[in-house]
């Protein structure tokens, strides 16, 4: 399969759907919010965008199945599956904060082989494919060269449910706040990972995540020269629903701070 050509088709599709989301963001009415769970919101924009993405991706690769956030398609394939978040940063979107994106990954069996993250309002499209490098609007990107946590700007995400790990998480924050240049919380895991890939962030960690939150971003980070782990330092990010992403130089130090509290 020509993953580079496939990535170009996916980029074109995300920009079309992104234009729809951008337009709706200007007129969105909060009264149309639906709740999937505690603080877990969705809207017709998420659902419409996902249906359009599923339709477009089916045309691009008919044999592939889907893992989708809003479950507009639940058909799985034994080989290729698209992993889709049609609007990562829904809470930002609903509140008029312009940091949200489309996230699309392609998985072949257990291996992630393609990732596209489109930050809609900045018109920044991050893309990567297996052994092809990572790109921002067609220009090659790479992770930062920060050598230690004391030289870094880190990103994280605050849990909005499953608060049983809150105290552990707060202890990690307390430790890292005293070591690094700062901690940021954008509100989109896909963007956090894209920003690690292009060197804006040097590292990122979060728990309570789903595959569609992080799959595309994981491809970006790895192809940009970075690393991704679960909180144990392993590769079970999907199963454990957690991730640590770094530029590869601060991995041991960042993992040490997290392992100290979570393991």
Instruction: Detail the residues annotated as belonging to a binding site for Mg(2+).
Output: 69, 85, 87-88, 213
**Token pair of 124 as six digits:** 């920044």
C-alpha distances in Å from residue 153, one per residue of 95, 133, 209: 25, 23, 21
Counting Cα atoms < 13 Å in the Cβ hemisphere of 47 gives: 11
**Token pair of 202 as six digits:** 């040097």
Report the C-alpha gap between 56 and 246 in whole angstroms: 32
Report the C-alpha gap between 162 and 135 in whole angstroms: 35
Residues 6+ apart with CB under 8 A from 53: 13, 14, 17, 84, 86, 102, 104
Best CA proximity match to 241, nearest among 204, 213, 201, 203: 213
The 3-state DSSP composition of the chain as helix, strand, coil percent (nearest 5) reads 40, 25, 35
Best CA proximity match to 14, nearest among 78, 93, 82, 108: 82
* Helical (H) or strand (E) element with 51: helix 44-60
Burial class (CB in 10 A: 0-12, 13-18, 19+), 41: middle
**Token pair of 249 as six digits:** 């130089």
Binding residue ranges:
69, 85, 87-88, 213
Burial class (CB in 10 A: 0-12, 13-18, 19+), 132: middle
């Amino acid at each position: 399969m020509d993953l580079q050509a496939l990535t170009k088709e996916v980029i074109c599709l995300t920009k079309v759907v992104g234009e729809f989301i951008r337009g709706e963001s200007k007129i969105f009415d909060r009264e149309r919010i639906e709740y999937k769970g505690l603080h877990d919101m969705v809207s017709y924009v998420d659902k419409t965008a996902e249906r359009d993405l599923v339709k477009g991706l089916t045309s691009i690769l008919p044999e592939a199945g889907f893992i989708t956030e809003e479950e507009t398609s639940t058909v799985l394939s034994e080989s290729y599956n698209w992993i889709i978040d049609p609007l990562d940063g829904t809470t930002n979107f609903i509140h008029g904060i312009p940091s949200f994106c489309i996230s699309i990954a392609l998985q072949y069996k257990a291996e992630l082989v393609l990732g596209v993250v489109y930050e809609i309002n900045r018109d920044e499209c991050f893309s990567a494919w297996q052994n092809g490098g990572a790109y921002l609007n067609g220009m090659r990107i790479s992770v930062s060269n920060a050598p230690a946590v004391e030289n870094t700007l880190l990103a994280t995400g605050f849990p909005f449910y499953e608060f049983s790990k809150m105290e552990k998480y707060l202890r990690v924050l307390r430790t890292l706040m005293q070591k690094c240049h700062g901690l940021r919380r954008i509100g989109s895991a896909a963007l956090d990972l894209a920003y690690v890939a292009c060197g804006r962030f040097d590292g990122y960690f979060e728990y309570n995540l789903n595959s569609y939150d992080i799959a595309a971003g994981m491809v970006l980070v790895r192809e940009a020269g970075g690393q991704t782990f679960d909180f144990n330092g392993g590769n079970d990010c999907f199963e454990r629903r957690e991730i640590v992403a770094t530029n590869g130089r601060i991995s041991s130090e960042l993992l040490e701070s997290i392992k100290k509290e979570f393991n």
